[in-house]
């Protein structure tokens, strides 16, 4: 794509209320735009990043046999009353309203009730189990703490998956598989997410599991071990910094962290609340068990930026970058065009800076936008191309064939 | 995919209130599920159809240089007051509500105000024009006439594109290009959509343009010519059935039709209402002109079914079918598995009916679900495969190599 056509241009001044690098850079570089507190437009650059993340998420969810669908945001009061959440635990964060005929609606803060209603109507036999479905879409929460940036929004993008089982053993096995699938998702996005034990809520003695990325921009606190994979949310742990890890004995650390996902074993809760039962092969009535698995897609975008940036801008990991290459023409448009065509022909996604602005402005924008490879065509480089990765300080002069070998 | 795993199973009994073939078959075959009137879950089969339609839409929009983004559903009152639509023409169909702090929100019925607010803030120079952006997402309308099926929903999927221009000539040229792009979209989805002149509303003497597919399931009425491409919405035409076509002289016809898209030249309206101006190269202040272009994605799914069905079920055009091939095993599972693997290896999307049900039930489901190709592996077929297109009555016996040649 030609940068002269890219909407919008980068912004000179960072948002005043930006306290985190992700908020600052995602706004300044033209990735997102705030419509109101906690509500953002994903501009074309962010939409490309989200497309890359969603592709990774879909691949990993499909690998575990989950089927994609899309459930509505506009939800009826009735199903939420069955679980007591219409006026209970969720009522404070769920936008609720009436239409002209006085009918009550709730705006999707989550989808457990909707998906369980779907399943209890369609699962007629034990042969229909297990089954897992997922969706990717915007959810809505009346957040009082809606802060700048994508960290905590009133409208935000989620992947939510729900699995349904006949036995606790089968559920637990799928739950473990999903933990591994989640680790693969985060790892492919360039993040190391800790699997953290957290409160299971009021209806189970088991832990739920959160996926947390250690970061000073986080709102959570976790106690964790560097020697092994043990970690607990500080809200529930009975241990403290310096205590011995219960698993490997090393001293425990505490750190701020960003919750990028969570999974929850609801067990029989929804079967009891919403009357979801099915007969097994012996005619015995069994509850349809449910677990849910969420990933905050838009928060993940911000988390990646928190981990990958410097004082000049973003440094995208290749797997999620909006383009792989930033190709900059310094008054050598015809030559740059040739390189652009060669790279594009090889299937490489290139942002060509063909604008009529200074070299300094182009380099500053390239650092801010943060594509993994910067190629410069200029008089200085002559017939060669100046090549630098975003996270390198020194550039090298290569010819086109060498560039192609390195970048592909 | 194996049909034994596909969620959900088909339903024996059609919905009671189904008046149209699309409503009946999309529910019965397990494509969609009604959560409440006018609000549907897109189940895995429908999600695959929508994925195919959206791929076609994106290709054609990208071809015209439009950039994809995603704007919020949760919109602030202020921008809607600027155009008078908060309490005006849109207020009846826009869900409006307050949060706990008494802040007003409107749920996206459309995005003109949001996108124009975005543009007036980011377009700083005439060099930033023209620009076109689009999105695909669910919109919300408090429809009193929310009927069964995907025809008229309270939550429905739209593609909406907005283009911005410095001159009326430039806008008109893009408008014409978009008419051609829309024709390509519908044609690739198997539909012949007429470009119909309709009311331009209160702020222009020009017509707007609707894209209408002639169908008895439609809620609109158009006057059209079979001899040429002339067509007008019956609401605005001054002509009647049998009158001579103003373009070619043939007698005009009238028919019910489904509106699958519309485009609108807003001209200077939004510049005036929302103060969107920019200086040209001579320093003269000019209004940022806007046109909008919508396609009802979920309605398009229903419209395709209205056109492509018989008394047994849906007959999907190949370009949008959820799978290309329905492969049915009649007690020859090992042989069917082999065919499944061969087809899948060639990149063909196959639904393998591996269920332990009667041949009759399998054939009935295949007709209902409506995939373009039906392949049967059975004792009767022997070492051959029984091949039939969904819209053919007679089948042929072919070997695997011949099948591959035909189906790819």
DSSP result, A10-49: --SS--TT--SHHHHHHHHTTSEEEEETTEEEE-HHHHHH
Beta bridge partners of A259: A212
Contact at CB, A42 and B75, closer than 8 angstroms: no
Among B233, B138, B401, B21, smallest CA distance to A155 is for B138
Interchain CB distance below 8 Å, B39 and A96: no
Question: What is the spatial distance between Cα B65 and Cα A403, in angstroms, rounded to a whole number?
Answer: 28
User: Which of B217, B256, B272, B226 is closest to B23 using CA atoms?
Assistant: B217
E-assigned strand segments in B215-349: 220-224, 231-233, 253-267, 277-279, 285-287, 289-296, 309-310, 313-314, 325-329
Query: CATH class for domain A21-73+108-310?
Result: alpha beta
Cβ within 8 Å, pair A74-B128: no
- CB of B160 within 8 Å of a chain A CB? The answer is no
Mean residue pLDDT of chain B comes to: 95
- Long-range CB contacts for residues A110-113, cutoff 8 Å, separation at least 24: A110/A139, A110/A160, A110/A292, A110/A294, A111/A71, A111/A135, A111/A160, A111/A162, A112/A83, A112/A162, A112/A266, A112/A270, A112/A290, A112/A292, A113/A75, A113/A79, A113/A80, A113/A82, A113/A83, A113/A85, A113/A274
What does DSSP say about strands A385-389 and A396-398: parallel, antiparallel, or unpaired? antiparallel
DSSP-assigned beta bridge partners for residue A133: A67, A162
Predicted pLDDT at B15: 87
Contact A9/B124, CB-based, under 8 Å?
yes
Q: Quick check: B74 and A140 CB within 8 A?
A: yes
CA distance A395 to A373: 11
User: A123 CA to chain B: closest CA distance, Å?
Assistant: 8
- The answer to whether the CB atoms of A9 and B128 lie below 8 A apart is yes
pLDDT score recorded for residue B200: 77
Residue with the bigger pLDDT between B146 and B38: it is B38
Distance from CA of B156 to the nearest CA of A (A): 9
User: Residue B82 has what DSSP assignment?
Assistant: H
- Contact between residue A53 and residue A299 where contact means Cβ atoms under 8 Å apart: no
Bridge partners, B131 (sequence order): B164
Question: With contact defined as beta carbons under 8 Å apart, do B67 and B119 qualify?
Answer: no
The count of C-alpha atoms lying within 13 angstroms of the C-alpha of B394, restricted to the half-sphere facing its C-beta, is: 2
Residue ranges of chain A with per-residue pLDDT less than 70: 148, 202-205
Chains A, B: CB contacts within 8 A come to 140
Per-residue pLDDT at A118? 98
Cis? peptide before B53, omega within 30° of 0: no
- Whether residues B69 and A44 touch (CB distance < 8 A) is answered with yes
What is the signed CA dihedral for A59, A64, A69, A70, rounded to 10 degrees?
-80
pLDDT in tens, B106-144: 999 999 999 999 999 999 999 999 999 999 999 999 987
Q: Which residue has the higher pLDDT, B213 or B90?
A: B213
Flag whether pLDDT at B8 surpasses 60.
yes
CA distance B317 to B201: 36
| B388 burial level (CB within 10 Å; 0-12, 13-18, 19+) | middle
Q: Is B95 on the interface with A (CB under 8 A)?
A: yes
Measuring CA to CA, which residue among A363, A367, A285 is closest to residue A328?
Answer: A363
| Residues B210/B218, Cβ–Cβ less than 8 Å | no
Confirm or reject contact between A390 and chain B (CB < 8 A).
no
Determine how β-strand A131-140 pairs with β-strand A155-165.
antiparallel
If you average pLDDT over residues B33-39, what whole number do you get? 96
CB A232 within 8 A of CB A222: yes
Distances (CA, A) of A68 to A160, A174, B6, B141: 10, 17, 11, 25
**Phi, psi dihedral angles at B92 (to 5 degrees):** -70, -30
A33–chain B Cβ distance below 8 A for any pair: yes
Any idea what DSSP says for residue A245? P
Look at residue B62 and give its three-state secondary structure: helix
Chain B hits for A131, Cβ within 8 Å: 5, 7
| 3-class secondary-structure state, position A216 | coil
Q: Read off the pTM.
A: 0.97
Cβ neighbours of residue A208 closer than 8 Å, sequence gap 6 or more: A197, A198, A199, A200, A201, A262, A263, A264, A265
The confidence score (pLDDT) of residue B19 equals 86
Closest to A45 measured CA to CA, from B133, B50, B112: B133
pLDDT single digits (tens) B62-76:
999 999 999 999 999
* Residue A394 contacts B where some CB pair is shorter than 8 Å: no
| pLDDT of B175 above 80 | yes
**pLDDT band at residue B145, thresholds of 50, 70 and 90?**
confident
* Helix, strand, or coil (residue B33): strand
Residue A202 is predicted with a pLDDT of 60
The DSSP secondary-structure symbol of A244 reads B
What class does CATH assign to A323-407? alpha beta
- Helices A297-307, A44-63: axis angle to 10 degrees equals 110
Q: B204 falls in which pLDDT band (50, 70, 90)?
A: low
DSSP B212-238: EEE-TT-SEEEEE-SSSS-EEETTT-S
pLDDT of B205 > 70? The answer is: no
Do the Cβ atoms of B232 and B198 come closer than 8 Å? yes
C-alpha to C-alpha distance for A175 and A181, rounded to whole angstroms: 10
Residues in chain A closer than 8 A to B100 (CB atoms): 92, 142, 144
A42 to B69: CB separation less than 8 angstroms, yes or no: yes
Q: To the nearest whole angstrom, how far is the Cα of B323 from the nearest Cα of chain A?
A: 14
Angle at B157 between CA B153 and CA B160, to 5 degrees: 120
Contact B41 A118 (CB under 8 A): yes
Q: How far is A407 from chain B (nearest CA, A)?
A: 25
Instruction: Compute, in degrees rounded to 10, the torsion defined by CA atoms B37, B38, B41, B44.
Output: 120
Q: What are the DSSP calls for A97-113, one per residue?
A: EE-TT--EEEE-S--HH
Strands B32-36 and B277-279: unpaired
Does residue B33 carry a pLDDT above 70?
yes
Contact yes or no for A155 and B97 at CB 8 A? no
Whether the predicted interface score ipTM is above 0.90? yes
Closest chain A residue to B92 measured between Cα atoms? A100
* C-alpha closest to that of A67 among A133, A9, A164, A155: A133
Q: Which chain B residues contact residue A42 at CB under 8 A?
A: 69-70
**pLDDT at residue A12, as a whole number:** 87
Cα B59 versus chain centre, distance:
14
Q: H helices of A263-385, where? A: 269-274, 297-307, 333-345, 359-369
Cβ of A142 and B92 within 8 Å? no
For the segment A55-86, what is each residue's pLDDT rounded down to a tens digit? 999 999 999 999 999 999 999 999 999 999 99
Q: Outline which parts of chain B fall under CATH 3.40.50.800.
A: 323-407
* Candidates B42, B92, B155; nearest CB to A73: B155
Q: Which of residues 347-376 of A touch B (CB under 8 A)?
A: none
Q: Strand A325-329 and strand A350-353: pairing?
A: parallel
Q: B216-270 pLDDT, tens per residue?
A: 999 999 999 999 999 999 999 999 999 999 999 999 999 999 999 999 999 999 9
A117 near B CB under 8 A = yes
- Nearest CB neighbour to B97, from listed A43, A97, A114: A97
Beta carbons of A35 and B72 less than 8 Å apart: yes
Domain with CATH 3.30.930.10 in chain B: 21-73+108-310
């Amino acid at each position: 794509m030609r940068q002269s056509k890219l909407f919008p241009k980068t912004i000179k001044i960072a948002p005043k209320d930006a306290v985190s690098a992700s908020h600052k850079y995602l706004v300044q570089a033209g990735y997102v735009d705030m419509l109101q507190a906690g509500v953002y437009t994903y501009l074309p650059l962010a939409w490309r990043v989200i497309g890359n993340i969603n592709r990774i998420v879909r691949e990993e969810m499909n690998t575990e046999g989950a089927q994609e669908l899309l459930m509505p945001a506009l939800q009826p009061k009735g199903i939420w009353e069955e679980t007591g959440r219409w006026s209970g635990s969720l009522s404070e964060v769920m936008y609720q309203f009436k239409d002209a005929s006085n009918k009550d609606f709730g705006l999707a803060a989550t989808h457990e009730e909707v998906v369980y209603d779907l399943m209890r109507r369609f699962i007629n036999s034990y042969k229909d189990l297990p089954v897992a479905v997922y969706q990717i879409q915007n959810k809505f929460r009346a957040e009082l703490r809606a802060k700048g940036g994508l960290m905590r929004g009133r409208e935000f993008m989620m992947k939510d998956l729900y699995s349904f089982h006949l036995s606790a053993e089968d559920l637990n096995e799928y739950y473990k598989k999903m933990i591994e699938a989640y680790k693969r998702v985060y790892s492919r996005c360039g993040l190391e997410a800790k699997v953290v034990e957290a409160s299971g809520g009021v209806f189970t003695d088991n832990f739920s599991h959160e996926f947390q990325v250690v970061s000073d921009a986080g709102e959570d606190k976790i106690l964790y071990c560097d020697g092994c994979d043990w970690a607990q949310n500080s809200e529930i742990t009975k241990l403290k910094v310096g205590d011995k890890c219960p698993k490997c004995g090393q001293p425990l650390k505490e750190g701020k962290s960003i919750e990028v996902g969570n999974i929850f074993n609801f067990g029989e809760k929804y079967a009891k609340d919403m009357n979801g039962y099915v007969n097994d092969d012996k005619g015995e009535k069994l509850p349809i068990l449910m677990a849910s698995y969420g990933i905050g897609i838009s928060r993940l975008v911000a988390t990646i930026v928190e981990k990958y940036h410097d004082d000049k801008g973003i440094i995208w990991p290749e797997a999620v970058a909006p383009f792989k290459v930033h190709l900059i023409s310094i008054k050598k448009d015809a030559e740059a065009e040739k390189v652009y065509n060669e790279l594009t022909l090889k299937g490489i996604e290139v942002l060509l800076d063909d604008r009529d602005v200074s070299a300094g402005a182009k380099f500053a924008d390239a650092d801010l936008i943060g594509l993994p490879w910067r190629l410069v065509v200029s008089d200085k480089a002559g017939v060669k191309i100046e090549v630098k990765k975003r996270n390198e300080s020194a550039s090298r002069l290569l010819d086109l064939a060498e560039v192609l070998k390195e970048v592909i």
